[in-house]
Homo-oligomer: A and B are copies of this chain.
Amino acid sequence: MAYNFPIIEDCLRCTFREQRVFCDLPREALVKLQSIKATSVYPKGAMLCLEGQSPRGIYVLCTGKAKISTTSSEGKSIILRIAEPGEVLGLTAALSNTPYEATVETLEQTQANFISHPDFLRFIQEYPEVSMKVAKQLTHNCQCAYAEIRSLGLSNSVPEKIAKLLLSWAEHPLKYTGPQKKSQEIAIRVTLTQEEIAQFVGTSRETVSRVLGDFRKKGWVRIKGATWSITNKRALENLVTT
């Protein structure tokens, strides 16, 4: 584990603040936020929320990604989306005071700010700007959910869904990588296992393996550990009908 993991203690000094939907607040609100939040750092695999639990509060992701999923009684589970830094988690539960809709598990070392349920509700009441931010986040959640529904309900085949997923990842390619070797190649960093990809597209692990193998054989993607390269974006796009 990296020891030099930088912790952002002070929201007022956070360098990312302006780029983040929720945190880009007027100074006064920020000061309040700073006073009610509790910052923690979680290792990979930590559970921030558990589906079905009553909401203790919300989390703001500062750094790191988290997997948001829901599970059936039989143990089958499906990934709703991957939350990026800046997102607020546990909102629906907090606002409607119902149990958490989903389970949140960190995918990597993650810093998050926790705000307790009562504090959060007061915070919203006091600062009207905040509820707009909340609405923005909820909008985003809806859009992701609708995309997922379209993927699950309107795609015909699993290859199509996986192609769609890869292409969506390709829209946020590795920024911190060296210069792309070939003009047409897109490098992405994939930290999900095939099992998780299967949960994302609602299929079985074996099928994901087969489909990826197929893509590789056809020379559409190249997989080297966690860095994948899309070598034939066109072909993947042709597979996608939606």
Contacts and interface: CB of A to CB of B under 8 A. Distances in A.
Interface of A: 70-74, 76-78, 80, 91-92, 95-96, 98, 101-102, 124, 128, 131-132, 134-136, 138-143, 145-146, 148-150, 152-155, 202, 241-242
A76 B91 CA distance: 32
A111 to B, nearest CB: 25
Given A145-B145, A146-B102, A242-B73, A96 B139 contact: yes
A153 B155 CA distance: 13
A70 B149 contact: yes
Residue among A70, A128, A136, A142 with max Cβ neighbours from chain B (10 Å):
A142
A230 to B, nearest CB: 22
A95 B141 CA distance: 13
A35 to B, nearest CB: 21
Contact of A91 (B139, B140, B242): B139
Contacts of A128: 128, 131
Contacts of A74: 154, 241-242
Contacts of A80: 146, 149
The 7 closest A-B pairs by CB, nearest first: A145-B145, A128-B128, A138-B138, A153-B202, A78-B153, A72-B154, A131-B131
